[in-house]
Structure 1
């Protein structure tokens, strides 16, 4: 890594930590520079405005796309959703501090709010794909979109409060069972 890339990375790491601890508005760029061991002018060289730091941090979110084939158990919607949640939780654990920061700043920064909304929609699409792949021919197709949206809300809520937990949240067994049972019961009623 070059000296300039190293300095930029240190600035981003310091900003992430300080914004998560004290909030975006309460963190002066001088504190970020001090924590990154760089001159304050270098912070402004890489990030013209302090809000540009926040935008750069949003872009550091881990990729949320999970290939359905990695989590789907054919014919078993519940097991497939459990695998999906486990993979999403694993990715969350790699960015717990960043996730905390983003949930904290979503109310006051539109770029953050838009990034979290995009994450939610990405999860909806993935849940839908997993349900369709796992339950082909055995689920109520008319309910898939509602189930995907509901389950994505539960996962998103779980990740929004995970920042307060010291360890990985417990499995979503009740939620998974509810969704899987509702989809298969709905299919039985429409036959």
Structure 2
């Protein structure tokens, strides 16, 4: 992260390196280790701090606006404390669905250790609402105005309407 901050790039380029290269590597390395809620929380905190530093955001920028997907009004930075447990739960469910005919795999998945692991993963996701980041953003004190603006057609008309002409006309210079 420190090397990323020090790179002589524009903030949006640093952000795309963070989201497209660095965070997927961290996410992949967490799949084979014993993850805890504290570890994921501390990684998310470091991630948010460096994202704010990279994009020159105010320190009081809500975390939900950083981690919410772009389509929900956020920056789309991966929240590891949500993504890792969701991925692991999906893998367990997919394994159970694919191995429905195999009694040995089904017996292994029905063991108390796997049930305890699944319960621990669900507890890790207990803080995250079913509505996802959209619900968190809508409840945020600082983001209510952003949601109101996104619903107002006049405030986003510059996105919906195609410009009538070229903004910058090519100038030719004669000698």
TM-score using structure 2 length: 0.33
Q: Which has the larger radius of gyration?
A: 2
TM-score by length of 1: 0.31
Query: Which of the two has greater helix per residue?
Result: 1
Whose relative contact order is higher, 1 or 2, with alpha carbons under 8 Å and at least 6 apart? 1
